[in-house]
Amino acid sequence: QTVVTQETSLTVSPGGTVTLTCASTTGAVTSGNFPNWFQQRPGQAPRTLIYRTNNKHSWTPARFSGSLLGGKATLTLSGVQPEDEADYYCLLNFQNNWFFGGGTKLTVL
Amino acid sequence: QVQLVQSGAEVQKPGASVKVSCKAYGYTFSSYGVTWVRQAPGKGLEWMAWVNAHDGNTFYAQNFQDRVTVTTDPSTNTAYLEMRSLRSDDTAMYYCVRDYDYICGSWGQGTLVTVSS
């Protein structure tokens, strides 16, 4: 069974930069896993931030970016705002089956 | 604009079935797929299934392929998730997501399904 792993929690200062990672137990994450990233604020439905590794939706703030680095998918927040405090999830595709990571709780402090 | 509106909260007894709907607005329904995701209280997201709104083709997560059926009705721009033989650990928020070509887009507001005797 494929397992997708993320940091459990991270803390960042307002205005700072933080990188969240998304790894797979089956090996390196590639563009062929079509990484998607989601933000979920408390009490809200998730929203999609990044699709296909590094593409943004029209509603995605410019400070969010996605990439691949060191065999992992990454989500970088530059110039973090207080409203970025949330849970972040990645989603990877493996031959038409999708697996979520366990999520990263990002604290802005 | 694109909007997915889900049906209201459900309370079901163990062993019963539930059918959740997801009505799409603001785009050509049959040009996209719909993914279903659930989230148990205080837990992470879990991918359940995907349905192609054009031809009805489906994929299911291994954990759900025996108890879940996903369908669409293009005449009403609505997708459905049916789950059978409900257990207490199926208590969760269920979400639909517009999906095309490995691109996740807009999410529904969620439907809370509570399984309790």
Do the Cβ atoms of B44 and A89 come within 8 Å? yes
Average pLDDT, chain B: 97
Tokens of residue B98, six digits: 């517009």
Determine the Cα–Cα distance for residues B75 and A55; give it in Å rounded to an integer: 32
Task: Give the residue from chain A lying closest to B63, CA to CA.
Answer: A1
Sequence-distant (≥ 6) Cβ neighbours of residue B15 within 8 angstroms? B85, B86
Q: What is the mean pLDDT of residues B47-52?
A: 96
- Asked if the model's pLDDT at residue B71 lies above 90, the reply is yes
Q: How confident is the model at residue B101 (pLDDT cuts 50, 70, 90)?
A: confident
Determine the Cα–Cα distance for residues B11 and B71; give it in Å rounded to an integer: 22
Do the Cβ atoms of B97 and A48 come within 8 Å? yes
Predicted confidence at residue B53, as pLDDT, reads 96
Of A34, A93, A103, Cβ closest to residue B44: A103
Predicted confidence at residue B89, as pLDDT, reads 97
Q: Which of residues 46-75 of A touch B (CB under 8 A)?
A: 46-48, 51-52, 55, 57
Do the Cβ atoms of A91 and B104 come within 8 Å? yes
Q: Could you read off the pLDDT of A25-81 as tens digits, one per residue?
A: 999 999 999 999 999 999 999 999 999 999 999 999 999 999 999 999 999 999 999
Count other C-beta atoms under 10 Å from residue A86's C-beta: 20
Do the Cβ atoms of A48 and B61 come within 8 Å? no
- Asked if the model's pLDDT at residue A1 lies above 90, the reply is no
Predicted confidence at residue B47, as pLDDT, reads 97
Q: How confident is the model at residue A90 (pLDDT cuts 50, 70, 90)?
A: very high
